Amino acid sequence: MGKKTNPKVLGGQFEREISRLLSAWILGKDINNPDEIKNTKLVVWRVGSSGAVATISNQIKLHGDIVPIDEIAIPVLEKFNFEVKRRKNFNLFSVLSRPNKKQEFLSWFEQADIEGYQPIFIFKVLRVGWYAVIDTLLLYDLIEFCGNPPESIKLKFKEKTLFIFELTKFLNWSYNYIKMLQDLWKTTKNN
């Protein structure tokens, strides 16, 4: 009989895992190196009460599942809204063959799609992997700064087209855009 784990322990582990990975990405660390990720300073955190909106020192309006806990993350969170989900079982093929699963998947993405921010939906399927989902608008913005994207799965809906990437490949590819946001933010902050 398998050992049962407390859902709160799993939830906390999940929050730390995604917060460390996104922090490493923002800081320009090697996100393919587990030791480097483990030792990365946290600059973002996944909020337990997702979707909460608040203001920190009138600097940034907080939104979504990921919030800055260090100033270096502010330009990223001023541009993007992250929705983060973890699923024990999820079969991407069900999105293609079952209309209710397709609609459920779209609704997850739409939680990240709030006015004024570019949405990034990140999901983890336990024992399978991490994935990033973006829309066509963000894809074209990233291509302009980062070149050709890594391999993705394209899902067409009536309302929009989404692209699903393996998360670390997406983060590695999109880093130049993050660096540009940080450089621009530093320049405007110093003027």
Domain contains 96: yes
- Does some domain include residue 2? no
Q: Is the pLDDT of residue 3 over 80?
A: no
- Specify if 1 maps to a domain: no
Is residue 123 one of the residues assigned to a domain? yes
- Structural domain that includes position 29: 7-190
pLDDT at 4 over 60: no
Total number of domains constituting the chain: 1
Q: Is residue 109 part of a domain?
A: yes
Question: Mind listing the pLDDT tens digit for each residue in 166-180?
Answer: 999 999 999 999 999
| Residue 132, in any domain of the structure | yes
Q: Are 142 and 104 in contact (CB under 8 A)?
A: no
Runs of H (alpha helix) within the chain: 7-26, 34-38, 74-79, 92-97, 99-112, 136-146, 167-190
Q: Does any domain span residue 131?
A: yes
Taking only Cα atoms into account, the Rg of the chain, rounded to an integer number of angstroms, comes to: 17
Instruction: List, for residues 14-66, the tens digit of each pLDDT value.
Output: 788 999 999 999 999 999 999 999 999 999 998 865 444 444 444 556 678 89
Whether residue 59 is contained in a domain is answered as yes
- Over residues 107-129, the pLDDT tens digits come to 999 999 999 999 999 998 888 88
pLDDT at 98: 84
Q: In degrees, to the nearest 5, what angle opens at C-alpha 95 toward C-alphas 12 and 109? A: 50
Q: What is the mean pLDDT of residues 90-104?
A: 81
Q: What is the mean pLDDT of the chain?
A: 85
> CA dist 174 to 13, 133, 191, Å?
25, 13, 27
Across 4-18, 89-103, 133-147, least confident range: 4-18
The residue-averaged pLDDT of 125-150 equals 93
pTM of the entire predicted model: 0.85
